[in-house]
């Protein structure tokens, strides 16, 4: 049995981290201690105590406990749990602890609904994926969701030191872990307690004996074992979308340090394509017309990155992120197209005015196409007032000039031109 399972806490007080849920006086702790357990879904990254807490709760009830894992459970397994409700052992109801519920398909999840509704089955489920994306809505409406968070390093350190202590006792010889090494392991695991305990077990196995028959873990050894363990990133998981969102919001918020931090997290995870795509979007969505040349710079940086590949690609992408983070901002282009799309999707369109319809084919004049069109380049300033929007949308304004010098200069230019033509 792995060390992480051998030292798994058996009471809520032994669990490290999750104090927002487990501290005495909290709502969650009160619910658990009341013994009246509702249907619950635990959501959070791996190795932060979801399974441990679920087991502690389930084992302290008077109901029959069943454990299933979504990665291996079949519909027959679920029906076997339901069948026990009609037996003596299930007379007081059943607690179903369902790990990795996101791997059950919709039909399998629906099988439980009737029994969750009448309370004969109490569900305690855990998932590393956002339940609002992966759990059937009818299950969600019958459950309370509790979010588990990555464990802070000081709390992880407690588990690390306990792991070394238990191993020393079980192996029959001392295993010494200097304080700075325990700190390093606690930080490098990225908030994953299970990962830190696995590192403890691996380091103990790999360390050599000293003259006194003991083992001492060195910082160099810890660095070798935990090379990239602090990276918590999966291209298909919630954290991917969280990092992408944080990158864009940091650039939009003009924070260059945060921008390169989140870019680094994407690139350290090997996700070059997502970084490139998001930077291209930001150039138009958030910088836009305040710095129109920005899209050209970002496109050149992205092209260079794709040609170079990682790790060198990080340099031009850093340039792109920093150019945009420090550039003036305008979302007027995005706001304009979204407003126009809203009208189009709502059916507010109307016929295209005849004078700007296609008139290059024979017979167009007979159909009244392009007869009164005025060619702007034939007029002073290359401008002549004429209607372009459909009659149904005449006078509609989608584009609002942004409060930056580039767009304000364009606004002043066109105000002067239109004033010269007698327009408002």
CATH number at residue 125: 3.40.50.300
Higher per-residue confidence, 119 vs 248: 248
Average pLDDT over residues 8-15: 89
CA distance 310 to 255: 24
pLDDT for res 161: 93
Answer yes or no: is pLDDT of 199 > 60. yes
Report the domain count for the chain.
4
Q: Are 136 and 123 in contact (CB under 8 A)?
A: no
Q: Indicate whether 257 and 346 sit together in one domain.
A: no
Q: Which two tokens stand for residue 221?
A: 């050894």
- For 375, phi then psi, to 5°, come to -80, 110
What's the CATH code of the domain at 217? 1.10.8.60
Residue 185 belongs to a domain: yes
| Confidence grade of residue 237 (pLDDT, cut at 50, 70, 90) | low
| Confidence grade of residue 270 (pLDDT, cut at 50, 70, 90) | confident
Q: Which two tokens stand for residue 95?
A: 């607690």
Residue 1 belongs to a domain: no
CA distance 21 to 19: 5
Q: Indicate whether 69 and 116 sit together in one domain.
A: yes
Q: Indicate whether 361 and 403 sit together in one domain.
A: yes
Residue 162 belongs to a domain: yes
Question: Using one digit for the tens of pLDDT, what is the confidence trace for 285-321?
Answer: 999 999 999 999 999 999 999 999 889 999 999 999 9
Please give the residue range of the domain that contains residue 211: 153-225
* Residue 177 CB contacts under 8 Å (≥ 6 apart), including other chains: 160, 161, 164, 200, 216, 217
CA–chain centroid gap for 296, Å, is 29
Give, in order, the Cα–Cα distances in Å from 321 to each of 32, 266, 283, 371: 47, 13, 9, 49
Q: Indicate whether 290 and 247 sit together in one domain.
A: yes
Q: Indicate whether 199 and 274 sit together in one domain.
A: no
pLDDT for res 233: 53
> CA torsion sign, 159 to 161 to 164 to 165?
negative
Residue 13 belongs to a domain: no
Burial classification of residue 317, based on how many CB atoms lie within 10 Å of its CB (0-12 exposed, 13-18 middle, 19 or more buried): buried
Q: Indicate whether 74 and 143 sit together in one domain.
A: yes
Among 325, 359, 381, the domain boundary falls at 325
Residue 366 belongs to a domain: yes
Question: Using one digit for the tens of pLDDT, what is the confidence trace for 384-417?
Answer: 999 999 999 999 999 999 999 999 999 999 999 9
Average pLDDT over residues 56-76: 84
Q: Indicate whether 95 and 168 sit together in one domain.
A: no
CA–chain centroid gap for 187, Å, is 21
Q: Indicate whether 249 and 369 sit together in one domain.
A: no
Q: Are 148 and 189 in contact (CB under 8 A)?
A: no
Let me know the angle formed at the C-alpha of 45 by 234 and 128, rounded to the nearest 5 degrees. Answer: 80
Q: Indicate whether 38 and 129 sit together in one domain.
A: yes
Residue 287 belongs to a domain: yes
> CA torsion sign, 357 to 361 to 367 to 368?
positive
Higher per-residue confidence, 164 vs 133: 164
Question: Using one digit for the tens of pLDDT, what is the confidence trace for 156-197?
Answer: 999 999 999 999 999 999 999 999 999 999 988 888 899 899
Q: Is this prediction's pTM over 0.75?
A: no
Q: Indicate whether 168 and 135 sit together in one domain.
A: no
E strand or H helix that includes residue 69 = strand 64-69
Rg of the chain over CA atoms, in angstroms?
A: 31
Answer yes or no: is pLDDT of 235 > 80. no
* Residue 103 CB contacts under 8 Å (≥ 6 apart), including other chains: 70, 71
Question: Using one digit for the tens of pLDDT, what is the confidence trace for 362-375?
Answer: 888 888 888 899 99
Among 201, 225, 249, the domain boundary falls at 225
Closest to 51 (Cα-Cα) out of 29, 35, 67, 73: 67
Among 325, 347, 375, the domain boundary falls at 325
- For 97, phi then psi, to 5°, come to -95, 115
Answer yes or no: is pLDDT of 90 > 70. no
What's the CATH code of the domain at 313? 1.20.272.10
What's the CATH code of the domain at 355? 1.10.3710.10
CA distance 366 to 205: 90
Q: Indicate whether 278 and 366 sit together in one domain.
A: no
* Residue 162 CB contacts under 8 Å (≥ 6 apart), including other chains: 7
Residue 232 belongs to a domain: no
Residue 12 belongs to a domain: no
Q: Indicate whether 184 and 203 sit together in one domain.
A: yes
Answer yes or no: is pLDDT of 232 > 80. no
**pLDDT cut 70: percent of the chain above it:** 96
């Amino acid at each position: 049995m792995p060390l992480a399972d051998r030292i798994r806490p058996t009471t809520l007080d032994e669990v490290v981290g999750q104090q927002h849920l487990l501290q005495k006086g909290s709502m969650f702790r009160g619910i658990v201690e009341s013994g009246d357990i509702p249907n619950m879904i635990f959501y959070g990254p791996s190795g932060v105590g979801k399974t441990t807490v679920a087991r502690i709760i389930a084992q302290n009830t008077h109901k029959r406990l069943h454990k299933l894992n979504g990665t291996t459970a079949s519909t027959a397994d679920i029906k076997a749990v339901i069948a026990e409700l009609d037996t003596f052992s299930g007379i007081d109801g059943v607690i179903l602890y369902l790990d990795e519920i996101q791997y059950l398909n919709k039909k399998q999840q629906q099988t439980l609904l009737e029994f969750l509704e009448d309370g004969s089955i109490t569900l305690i489920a855990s998932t590393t994926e956002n339940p609002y994306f992966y759990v059937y809505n009818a299950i969600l409406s019958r459950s309370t969701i509790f979010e588990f968070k990555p464990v802070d390093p000081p709390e992880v350190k407690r588990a690390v030191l306990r792991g070394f202590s238990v191993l020393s006792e079980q192996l029959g010889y001392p295993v010494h872990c200097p304080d700075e090494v325990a700190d390093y392991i606690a930080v490098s695991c990225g908030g994953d307690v299970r990962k830190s305990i696995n590192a403890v077990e691996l380091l103990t196995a790999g360390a050599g004996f000293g003259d006194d028959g003991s083992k001492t873990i060195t910082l160099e050894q810890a660095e070798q074992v935990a090379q990239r363990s602090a990276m918590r990133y999966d291209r298909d998981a919630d954290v991917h979308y969280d990092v992408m969102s944080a990158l864009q919001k940091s650039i939009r918020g003009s924070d260059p340090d945060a921008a390169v931090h989140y870019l680094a997290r994407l690139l350290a995870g090997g996700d070059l394509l997502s970084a490139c795509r998001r930077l291209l979007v930001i150039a138009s969505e958030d910088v836009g017309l305040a710095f129109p040349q920005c899209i050209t710079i970002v496109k050149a940086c992205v092209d260079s990155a794709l040609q170079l590949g990682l790790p060198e690609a990080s340099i031009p992408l850093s340039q792109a992120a920093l150019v945009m983070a420090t550039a003036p901002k305008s979302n007027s282009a995005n706001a304009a197209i979204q407003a126009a799309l809203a009208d189009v999707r709502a059916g507010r369109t109307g016929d295209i005015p005849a004078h700007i319809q296609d008139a290059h084919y024979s017979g167009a004049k007979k159909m009244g196409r392009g007869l009164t069109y005025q060619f702007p380049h034939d007029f002073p300033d290359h401008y002549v007032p004429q209607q372009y929007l459909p009659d149904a949308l005449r006078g509609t304004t989608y584009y609002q000039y942004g409060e930056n010098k580039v767009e304000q200069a364009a606004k002043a230019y066109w105000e002067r031109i239109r004033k010269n033509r007698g327009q408002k």
